[in-house]
């Protein structure tokens, strides 16, 4: 049985913890709103891009000289996994779910005799993957200093990926990130970006016949690298919103748990205090009777 003093200290400490988690939850809620707005603002661009690209890609797919970003290198020997996680912890299962998906994919590929290379974005995923796949790391993108994810960040990552692709370092690239569904649900997603893949339903909507200037092939060659950057940007934004959502619900749980704990400790504290008083009373009465 802990002493009264110890209980009192314990209650005070849990109360402080609750204040901190409460504050973190509110900060996450504010950041989530901003992240969602950013994701919303980026959507029209990504949608138009995807629609135009899928139209072009469908037309060019059968051609002999289709760009390698679209048709691939002809083999799928070397895979690049781009694992996007957060820079900070205390966000529940956010990072573990991404890492779990990436790890499963990596093990699967290795079991099939493929070569796997891993590019990490965000240090949390890097820490979790280092033990199993440390030797497969080819690079790391640090976004610790970035307060607001901008398109330039995505461009930097994309040009890194493209440079590696042009140097023949890999055949297939896949992005791993959490797609934002709601505050309580984020879906870990694997999206293949090289060779480019497009949703079929988007292609059907752009059935208009366009004139292309300069030429269809030139436009496709110009847009494919931009499309990689756009997809990276979308993934970064989705991930940003998911991270804040996950942190918000994790901190909400922590706040609630701290509240429960305070109640339990308070009851224990009151009981011990009462017991001490009773003991003292019995001692006084027994002393008086003995006289």
Partner 1 sequence: MANTLHFDLVSPERKLASVTATEVSIPAAAGDMTAMEGHEPTITTLRPGILRAVTAEGVRAFAVTGGFAEITGSTVTVLAERATPVEELTGTLLDDLIDEARELAKVALTDGRDDAEKLVNDMLSLKVAAGH
Report if residue 211 touches partner 1, rule: CB under 8 A.
yes
Report if residue 154 touches partner 1, rule: CB under 8 A.
yes
- Tokens read off for 90: 């205390």
Report if residue 2 touches partner 1, rule: CB under 8 A.
no
**Nearer of residues 116 and 223 to partner 1, judged by Cβ:** 223
Strand order in the sheet with 172-182: 137-141, 115-121, 78-84, 172-182, 185-194
Report if residue 136 touches partner 1, rule: CB under 8 A.
no
Q: How many amino acids of this chain bind partner 1 (CB under 8 A)?
A: 28
Give the Cα separation of 38 and 195 in Å (integer): 27
Give the Cα separation of 166 and 224 in Å (integer): 13
Q: Which of 17, 27, 31, 52 binds partner 1 (CB under 8 A)?
A: 52
**Nearer of residues 49 and 78 to partner 1, judged by Cβ:** 49
Task: Catalytic residue, from 91, 154, 196, 220: name it.
Answer: 91
Q: What is the DSSP string of 70-84?
A: HH--S---EEEEEEE
Q: Which of 20, 45, 266, 275 binds partner 1 (CB under 8 A)?
A: 45
Is residue 171 part of the annotated active site? The answer reads no
| Residue 267 CA: distances (Å) to CA of 14, 109, 275 | 14, 55, 12
Report if residue 145 touches partner 1, rule: CB under 8 A.
no
The interface region with partner 1, picked from 14-22, 47-55, 89-97, 188-196 by CB under 8 A, is: 47-55
Q: Which of 208, 286, 288, 289 binds partner 1 (CB under 8 A)?
A: 208
User: Residue 92: which region, alpha, beta or left (left: phi > 0; alpha: psi -120 to 50)?
Assistant: left
Neighbours of 13 (CB within 10 A): 11
Give the Cα separation of 17 and 255 in Å (integer): 8
The interface region with partner 1, picked from 123-131, 189-197, 209-217, 275-283 by CB under 8 A, is: 209-217
Contacts to partner 1 from residues 217-246, by CB under 8 A: 218-219, 222-223, 226, 229-230, 233
Report if residue 49 touches partner 1, rule: CB under 8 A.
yes
Any idea what DSSP says for residue 119? E
Report if residue 33 touches partner 1, rule: CB under 8 A.
no
- Tokens read off for 246: 């996950």
Report if residue 204 touches partner 1, rule: CB under 8 A.
no
Nearest to 180 by CA among 15, 31, 14: 31
- Which residues in this chain contact partner 1 in the complex, by CB under 8 A? 38, 41-42, 44-46, 48-49, 52, 56, 150-151, 154, 208-214, 218-219, 222-223, 226, 229-230, 233
Catalytic residues: 91
């Amino acid at each position: 049985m802990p002493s009264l003093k110890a209980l009192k200290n314990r209650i005070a400490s849990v109360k402080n913890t609750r204040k901190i988690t409460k504050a973190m939850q509110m900060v996450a809620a504010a950041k989530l709103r901003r992240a969602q707005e950013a994701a919303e603002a980026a959507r029209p661009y990504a949608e138009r891009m995807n629609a135009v690209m899928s139209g072009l890609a469908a037309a060019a797919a059968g051609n002999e000289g289709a760009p390698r970003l679209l048709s691939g290198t002809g083999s799928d020997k070397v895979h690049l996994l781009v694992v996007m996680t957060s820079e900070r912890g205390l966000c529940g299962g956010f990072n573990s779910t991404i890492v779990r998906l990436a790890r499963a994919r990596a093990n699967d590929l290795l079991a099939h005799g493929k070569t796997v290379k891993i590019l990490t974005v965000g240090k949390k995923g890097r820490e979790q993957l280092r033990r199993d796949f440390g030797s497969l790391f080819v690079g790391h993108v640090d976004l610790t200093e970035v307060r607001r994810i901008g398109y330039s960040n995505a461009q930097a990552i994309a040009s890194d990926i493209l440079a590696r692709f042009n140097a023949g370092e890999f055949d297939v690239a896949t992005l791993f990130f959490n797609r934002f569904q709601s505050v309580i649900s984020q879906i870990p997603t694997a999206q293949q970006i090289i060779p480019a893949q497009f949703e079929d339903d988007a292609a059907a909507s752009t059935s208009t016949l366009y004139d292309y200037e300069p030429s269809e092939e030139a436009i496709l060659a110009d847009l494919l690298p931009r499309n990689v950057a756009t997809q990276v940007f979308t993934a970064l934004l989705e991930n940003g919103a998911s991270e804040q959502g996950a942190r918000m619900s994790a901190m909400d749980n922590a706040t609630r748990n701290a509240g429960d704990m305070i109640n339990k400790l308070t009851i224990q504290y009151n009981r011990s205090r009462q017991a001490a008083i009773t003991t003292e009373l019995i001692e006084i009465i027994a002393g008086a009777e003995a006289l």
